[in-house]
Structure 1
Amino acid sequence: MPRVSEEHLAARRQQILDAARRCFRRNGFHATSMQDVINEAGLSVGAVYRYFGSKHELVTSIAESVVDGADELFATLATAEPPLPLIDALDRALEFIESQTGPDGVFPLAVQVWAESLRDPALAEFVARVYSRFRSRFVVLARRAQQAGELPADADAEAAGAVLFGVIPGFALQRVLTGGPDPKTYLDGVTALLASQGVRK
């Protein structure tokens, strides 16, 4: 009997995840059953359970995929050479977020992950770990901005980084829930607030 290729296994796993995403977007985590995912994927029960033993495993896998692109971008922004001005870094971050807040983007699912983490301790631990890592990227941005003279020398870089990071989910949540504001309007508001505190562009 021929061995199944790694490519085939990866494609089948992705097929199941794509089906689960469609179900979760349409009905939410709680209203979606494993049977719904099986039907959506067009596979047998055994084929789906070979890859995912429970809905919890599906939710966790999707949560991991939701953060991958953002983590890669935030890491790139934090380590760019030469260091990016804060407004430029935020501009790039907001562009990415906007691209992922539509019906087919990852952030509508991220909102569900946030809600699910309030009742699932394992998912809560994952979310806390990931978002702490995200926040640390923005602390690095704040420290580098401080070294460049963009932030006051006596500023608390940890606090500044935490607030800068908070700008990102704040924008994403507004986009998902209300469809606005657009990135330029939001960035103009952030720029005005930073300027009012003496942050140089």
Structure 2
Amino acid sequence: MPRVSQQYKDERRREIVAAASRCFLEHGFEGASMHRIIAATGLSAGALYNHFPSKQELVLESARTALDRVLDPAEGADEGADPHGGGPAEWVAGLLERLAADPAATRLLLITWGGAVSEPALAAVAGEHLGRVRDRVEERYGRWAVKELGLDPERAREWVAMFAQAILSVLQGYVVQSCLLPGFDHDAYLDYARTLAAQ
């Protein structure tokens, strides 16, 4: 019998996670039974369990995937201002635009944060990703604050620590309001985020 390549296994895992994520979006983590997930994948129970031995592993991988879809493009950006002269305000706007372009990932973020309140494993995943956002902001704009704002290194560290906290607040506020607030105005929120980031 021919061996299955790692690429094939990885692709099958991605397909399973995508199908499970659709179930989680429709039914929540609690309401999406393994029976529903198996039906959504079109696989046998044995084939699915071969990739993910438990629903908990699927929940965690779905959460990681949603978080990575939003954060990874930001991590791949060049340090400091972009080549077109943008700075923190445009970086924040880009983060929010990625959320707006991927409503499924945005809703999964909200579901993940909600589940994290009572599920330690989900809390660890969410906390790690939020920490990555904070760390990325601090890495990206620490030297920027010295160069562009003229701050001395100590003041730059203070500024970037506060700025990172503001970005986390903006990110979390966008996820909650865009998913739950009737009549949410994306453009107005973007203006607010740009103004806050430019302070």
Shared topology, TM-score over 0.5?
A: yes
Are the counterparts in 2 of residues 23 and 37 from structure 1 also a CA contact under 8 Å? Answer: yes
| Corresponding residue number in structure 2 for 1:180 | 184
Q: Structure 1 residues 140 and 6, CA, compared in 2 at 3 Å: closer, same or farther?
A: closer
SS in 1 for 2:130: helix
1:20-39 equivalences under 5 Å are: 20-39=20-39
Q: How many residues align?
A: 192
Q: Distance in 1 between matches of 2:197 and 2:80?
A: 21
Question: What TM-score, normalized to structure 2?
Answer: 0.83
Q: 1:189 aligns with which of 171, 192, 197?
A: 192
| Corresponding residue number in structure 2 for 1:17 | 17
Give the superposed CA RMSD: 2.4
Q: Distance in 2 between matches of 1:124 and 1:25?
A: 18
1:1-201 equivalences under 5 Å are: 1-77=1-77, 79-80=79-80, 84-101=86-103, 105-150=104-149, 154=155, 156=158, 157-178=160-181, 180-182=184-186, 184-193=187-196, 199=199
Q: Shift of the alpha carbon at 1:78?
A: 6.4
Q: Distance in 1 between matches of 2:78 and 2:127?
A: 20
Q: Distance in 2 between matches of 1:34 and 1:91?
A: 38
Q: Shift of the alpha carbon at 1:131?
A: 0.9
Are the counterparts in 1 of residues 177 and 184 from structure 2 also a CA contact under 8 Å? Answer: yes
Q: Distance in 2 between matches of 1:190 and 1:13?
A: 36
Are the counterparts in 1 of residues 163 and 197 from structure 2 also a CA contact under 8 Å? Answer: no
Spell out, residue by residue over 1:162-199, the C-alpha distance to the aligned partner (whole angstroms, 9 max, x if none): 112321221122112236221x322322344566xxx3
SS in 2 for 1:148: helix
Q: Structure 1 residues 79 and 30, CA, compared in 2 at 3 Å: closer, same or farther?
A: same
Q: Shift of the alpha carbon at 1:17?
A: 1.5
Q: Shift of the alpha carbon at 1:140?
A: 3.1
Q: Distance in 2 between matches of 1:31 and 1:123?
A: 16
More helix by percentage: 2
Q: Structure 1 residues 5 and 171, CA, compared in 2 at 3 Å: closer, same or farther?
A: same
SS in 2 for 1:125: helix
Name the aligned partner's letter for residue 159 of structure 1. Answer: M
Q: Shift of the alpha carbon at 1:142?
A: 4.1
**Structure 2 residues without counterparts, runs of 5 or longer:** none
**Structure 1 residues without counterparts, runs of 5 or longer:** none
